[in-house]
């Protein structure tokens, strides 16, 4: 069973993000973390391998700190990795990213592609589906349970107010939702292995792509402008005895804010 | 099982320094840190004296991302409604090499750990070490999260409450009088405002210590340090004193009252509070020290009780760096000899005696009993404030001669048998 995990390093939820260049760019503090949903995908891949044997390969696209997600994957127990690193990949949208990732995944035969349901940076939730599309494969989204047997998968997806159980022929693409599993904490020996490992890289040419098909040039969607969320109104501190303060808080909620 | 040369428990200054030196000597080192990254869990007042440690880690000290070099020392003595402030500056502090810097450990430790990784040290955060491994009555590695990592030597640099020292059976039982509680807040304020407000040139810093009624007669005091674009404000109170309060006041309330004082408000006005943290600090001096080595293990930094409170200066980081480096030297020699027995590791203590670490701890062995004198936090601040009060106040009726007024105040507070005893006790420091 060959399992490919598509994973991404995202800004740490605590990183400071500022809009710059008149709304065209984001300045992000250099603090990164593995995308939470991708951790579920890595964990699930490892569990499938533990049950059915085979190998797990983690693929990511990006430069600099992007390699950290691969090291995390290897520390957790992934067997192989591939880093798509090329200036030409920069500033691509979901479409361009999915195209590159699908080419990278298809370099070797595989049975399962797993990835997170969305990256928690842009929250678009589109790359997994597009990878399936590029490869002509079925896609099952929001997976919270995955059983593999006889070349088929039975997956449970979270849907509004309930669950949906589907059966699908492999190979297929699955996007992981919270609840799928509890990602393991890498072991010390795993981390040491991950720190030492040489990560194989692929460039545009290795994937058989032209510069027009990648990065900003290959993107269908352009970012027009970033806008800051509305600032929260200033905090109001109500002083005094707890009873009176609570009564005052209720008064404000009813008379001033009119929320109850 | 294949053994690693050295496992270092704790990514504070002692652990980082030890790892750096061992990696320098070509040894294979794993450093395990409980927090998200080195520097994320520790709480430091915020000032480091670099002269004592420059020779131990020249590359690190000379390149480190410190905050500001301190050129201005301020002391504020507070009574309930009054205070006096003393400011001392010296132009020699404005010249390189600078004597001391303010420091933010989250930034510094993280930078330091990057240097370690460049040297091939395995810095592994988010790992809590649960236990030690033993072999023939000697420590032979650690257990973390069900994983066993064998090591020829373990350096425990896991802070003031060192669980490694406890597991190894070399730490004395914890006694409240050997520890203090430190609370610290960080306020964001832009660089120019800090420089203008404190009267500093770009890059320069100030250190302000506070003593008196803010600790309600308890052993302790406050501190304020200027960082690049933040202020570190904090309070230290002896745990023993906190327990023995007549009308118990929660420590956080002390901090709230402290930061609400006008003497503090003037500095933090308009600043946004960014962080709040608290930690235990060792104050036991040489009496609180455990045995610092045993077969297969060395203790460094706070874990070894290397911290000294001299009232005006509170030192821990220099001891952490020096002891970390000396522990690494000892470990390196032991690894080369293939002898990590308790007998061989005793050279660590010898090295500590030849450095400034143990001599300083020895010289100031009585500082704690001197500083524990309650009168230092009650009578003397009151005396100074009232003395200035009678000298400066002009009331309705005829004013008494200044000397007479001053003597009245002095007799009330300090010109008595207790005052004489206090002066005698100061000789111990």
Domains of chain A: 2-213 (3.40.50.620), 230-260 (no CATH)
Q: What pLDDT is recorded for position B426?
A: 76
Q: What pLDDT is recorded for position B211?
A: 92
Angle at B7 between CA B5 and CA B13, to 5 degrees: 125
Whether residues A185 and B145 touch (CB distance < 8 A) is answered with yes
pLDDT in tens, B301-358: 999 999 888 777 778 999 999 999 999 999 999 999 999 999 999 999 999 999 999 9
- Which string of DSSP letters, residue by residue, matches B8-21? EE--SHHHHHHHHH
Q: What is the rounded distance in angstroms from the CA atom of residue B76 to the CA atom of residue B20?
A: 39
- Across B413-428, average pLDDT: 80
pLDDT in tens, A101-123: 999 999 999 999 999 999 998 88
Say if residues A43 and A145 touch (Cβ distance below 8 Å).
no
**Per-residue H/E/C for A88-108:** HHCCCCHHHHHHHHHHHHCCC
**Other residues' Cβ atoms within 10 Å of the Cβ of residue B275:** 14
Kindly give, in sequence order, each residue whose CB lies less than 8 Å from that of residue A244, ignoring residues fewer than 6 positions away.
none
Kindly give, in sequence order, each residue whose CB lies less than 8 Å from that of residue B245, ignoring residues fewer than 6 positions away.
B216, B218
Whether residues A192 and B127 touch (CB distance < 8 A) is answered with no
Q: How far is A192 from chain B (nearest CA, A)?
A: 6
Whether residues A195 and B126 touch (CB distance < 8 A) is answered with no
Q: How far is A31 from chain B (nearest CA, A)?
A: 11
Residues in A closer than 8 angstroms to B149, CB to CB, are 188-189
Residues in B closer than 8 angstroms to A185, CB to CB, are 126, 145
Whether residues B117 and A189 touch (CB distance < 8 A) is answered with no
Nearest to B23 by CA among B111, B110, B119, B115: B119
Nearest to B235 by CA among B253, B385, B286, B73: B253
If DSSP codes are grouped into helix, strand and coil, which group holds residue A176? strand
Whether residues A192 and B30 touch (CB distance < 8 A) is answered with yes
Q: Which of A150-154, A216-220, B38-42, B162-166 has the lowest mean pLDDT?
A: B38-42
Q: What is the rounded distance in angstroms from the CA atom of residue A252 to the CA atom of residue B397?
A: 53
Kindly give, in sequence order, each residue whose CB lies less than 8 Å from that of residue B391, ignoring residues fewer than 6 positions away.
B402, B405, B406
Task: Report whether pLDDT(B364) > 90.
Answer: no
- Across B118-144, average pLDDT: 94
ipTM: 0.75
Q: What pLDDT is recorded for position B394?
A: 85
By C-alpha distance, the chain B residue nearest A191 is: B124
Q: Based on DSSP, count helices (H) and strands (E) in chain A, helices before strands.
A: 6, 13
- Across B153-163, average pLDDT: 95
- What is the count of residue pairs from A and B with beta carbons less than 8 Å apart? 21
Q: Which two tokens stand for residue A51?
A: 């049950």
Q: What is the rounded distance in angstroms from the CA atom of residue A140 to the CA atom of residue A129?
A: 8
Q: What pLDDT is recorded for position B71?
A: 97
- Taking 3-state DSSP, the helix, strand and coil percentages for chain A, each rounded to the nearest 5, stand at 35, 25, 40
Residues in B closer than 8 angstroms to A15, CB to CB, are none
Q: What is the rounded distance in angstroms from the CA atom of residue A231 to the CA atom of residue B15?
A: 42
Q: Looking at chain A, how many residues does it have?
A: 260
**pLDDT band of A232, cuts 50, 70, 90:** confident
- Which string of DSSP letters, residue by residue, matches B144-210? ETTEEEEEEEEEE---TT-HHHHHTT-SPPP-GGGEEEEEEEEEE--HHHHHHHHT--TTEEEEEEE
- Percentage of the residues of chain B whose pLDDT score is greater than 70: 100
Residues in A closer than 8 angstroms to B122, CB to CB, are 188, 191-192, 195
List B148's β-bridge partners, or say none: B143
- Across B237-262, average pLDDT: 90
Q: How far is B197 from chain A (nearest CA, A)?
A: 26
Which among B2, B32, B40, B122 is the top mutation candidate for probing chain A, defined by the most A β-carbons within 10 Å of its own β-carbon?
B122
CA B293, chain centre distance (Å): 22
Interface of chain B against chain A, CB under 8 Å? 30, 32, 117, 122, 124, 126-127, 144-145, 147, 149
Q: Which two tokens stand for residue A81?
A: 């990795």
Q: What pLDDT is recorded for position B1?
A: 57
A185 in contact with B at a CB cutoff of 8 Å?
Answer: yes
- Across B100-110, average pLDDT: 94
If DSSP codes are grouped into helix, strand and coil, which group holds residue B386? helix
Q: Which two tokens stand for residue B247?
A: 């009308």
pLDDT in tens, B282-313: 888 888 888 999 999 999 999 999 988 877 77
Q: Which of A99-113, B154-168, B332-346, B409-423 has the lowest mean pLDDT?
A: B409-423
- Across B186-200, average pLDDT: 96
- Percentage of the residues of chain A whose pLDDT score is greater than 90: 74
Say if residues B266 and B224 touch (Cβ distance below 8 Å).
no
The interaxial angle of helices A67-76 and A188-196, nearest 10 deg, is 140
Q: What is the rounded distance in angstroms from the CA atom of residue B32 to the CA atom of residue B30?
A: 6
Q: What is the rounded distance in angstroms from the CA atom of residue A170 to the CA atom of residue A153?
A: 7
Angle at B10 between CA B8 and CA B14, to 5 degrees: 80
- Across A190-198, average pLDDT: 91
Residues in A closer than 8 angstroms to B126, CB to CB, are 185
pLDDT in tens, A123-136: 899 999 999 999 99
Q: How far is A136 from chain B (nearest CA, A)?
A: 41
Q: What pLDDT is recorded for position B93?
A: 94
Q: What is the rounded distance in angstroms from the CA atom of residue B159 to the CA atom of residue B144?
A: 17
Which CA distances in Å does A240 have to A169, A249, B253, B288?
66, 11, 16, 44
pLDDT in tens, B56-103: 999 999 999 999 999 999 999 999 999 999 999 999 999 999 999 999
- Across B249-268, average pLDDT: 93
- Across B122-134, average pLDDT: 95
By C-alpha distance, the chain A residue nearest B7 is: A188
By C-alpha distance, the chain B residue nearest A195 is: B122
Whether residues B147 and A195 touch (CB distance < 8 A) is answered with no
Q: Which two tokens stand for residue A95?
A: 């479409």
Which among A68, A71, A75, A188 is the top mutation candidate for probing chain B, defined by the most B β-carbons within 10 Å of its own β-carbon?
A188
Nearest to B203 by CA among B214, B212, B192: B192
- Which string of DSSP letters, residue by residue, matches A109-132? --SEEEEES--TTT----HHHHHH
């Amino acid at each position: 069973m060959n399992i490919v995990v598509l994973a991404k390093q995202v800004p740490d939820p605590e990183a400071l993000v500022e809009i710059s260049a008149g709304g065209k760019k984001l300045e992000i503090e250099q603090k990164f973390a593995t995308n939470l949903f991708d951790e579920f995908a890595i964990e699930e891949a490892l569990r499938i391998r533990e049950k059915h044997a085979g190998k797990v390969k983690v693929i990511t696209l990006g430069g600099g700190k992007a390699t950290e997600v691969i090291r995390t994957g290897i520390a957790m127990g992934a067997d192989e990795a591939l880093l798509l690193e090329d200036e030409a990949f920069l500033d691509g949208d979901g479409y361009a990213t999915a195209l590159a990732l699908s080419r990278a995944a298809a370099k070797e035969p595989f049975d399962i592609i797993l990835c997170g349901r969305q990256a928690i940076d842009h929250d678009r939730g589109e790359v997994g589906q597009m990878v399936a599309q590029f490869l002509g494969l079925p896609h099952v989204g929001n997976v919270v349970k995955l059983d593999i047997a006889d070349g088929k998968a039975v997956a449970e997806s979270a849907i509004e107010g309930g669950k949906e159980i589907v059966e699908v022929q492999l190979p297929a693409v699955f996007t992981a939702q919270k609840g799928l599993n509890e990602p393991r904490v890498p072991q010390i020996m795993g981390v040491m292995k991950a720190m030492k490992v040489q990560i194989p890289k692929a460039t545009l040419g290795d994937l058989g792509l032209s510069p027009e098909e990648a990065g900003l040039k290959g993107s269908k969607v352009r970012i027009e402008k970033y806008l800051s969320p509305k600032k929260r109104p200033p905090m109001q501190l109500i002083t005094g005895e707890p009873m009176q303060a609570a009564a005052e808080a209720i008064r404000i909620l009813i008379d001033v804010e009119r929320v109850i | 099982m294949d053994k690693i040369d050295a496992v270092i428990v704790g990514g504070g200054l002692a652990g980082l320094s030890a790892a750096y030196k061992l990696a320098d000597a070509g040894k294979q080192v794993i450093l395990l840190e409980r927090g998200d990254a080195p520097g994320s869990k520790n709480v430091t007042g915020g000032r480091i004296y670099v002269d004592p440690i420059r020779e131990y880690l020249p590359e690190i000290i000379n390149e480190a991302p410190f905050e500001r070099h301190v050129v201005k020392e301020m002391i504020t003595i507070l009574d309930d409604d009054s205070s006096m402030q003393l400011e001392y500056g010296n132009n020699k502090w404005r010249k390189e090499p600078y004597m001391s810097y303010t420091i933010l450990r989250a930034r510094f430790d993280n930078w330091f750990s990057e240097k370690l990784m460049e040297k091939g040290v395995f810095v592994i955060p988010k790992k809590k070490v649960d236990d030690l491994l033993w072999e023939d009555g000697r420590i032979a590695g650690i257990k973390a999260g069900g994983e066993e990592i064998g090591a020829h030597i373990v350096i425990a640099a896991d802070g003031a409450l060192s669980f490694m020292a406890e597991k190894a059976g070399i730490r004395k039982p914890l006694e409240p009088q050997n520890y203090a509680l430190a609370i610290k807040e960080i306020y964001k304020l832009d660089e120019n405002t800090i420089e203008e407000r404190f009267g500093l040139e770009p890059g320069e810093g100030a250190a302000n210590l506070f003593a008196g009624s803010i600790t309600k007669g308890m052993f302790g005091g406050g501190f304020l340090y200027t960082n690049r674009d933040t202020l570190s404000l904090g309070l230290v109170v002896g745990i023993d004193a906190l327990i023995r309060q007549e009308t118990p006041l929660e420590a956080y309330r002390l901090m709230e009252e402290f930061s609400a004082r006008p003497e503090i408000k003037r500095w933090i006005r308009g600043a946004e509070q960014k962080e709040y943290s608290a930690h235990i600090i060792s104050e036991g001096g040489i009496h609180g020290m455990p045995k610092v080595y045993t077969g297969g293990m060395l203790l460094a930094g706070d874990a070894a009780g290397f911290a000294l409170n001299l009232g005006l200066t509170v030192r821990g980081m220099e001891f952490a760096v020096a002891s970390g480096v000396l522990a690494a030297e000892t470990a390196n020699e032991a690894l080369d000899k293939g002898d990590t027995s308790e007998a061989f590791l005793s050279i660590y203590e010898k090295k500590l005696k030849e450095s400034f670490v143990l001599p300083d701890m020895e010289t100031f062995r009585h500082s704690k009993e001197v500083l524990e004198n309650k009168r230092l936090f009650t009578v003397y601040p009151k005396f100074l404030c009232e003395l200035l009060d009678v000298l400066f106040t002009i009331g309705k009726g005829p004013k008494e001669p200044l000397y007479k007024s001053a003597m009245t105040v002095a007799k009330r507070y300090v010109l008595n048998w207790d005052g004489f005893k206090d002066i005698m006790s100061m000789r111990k420091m």
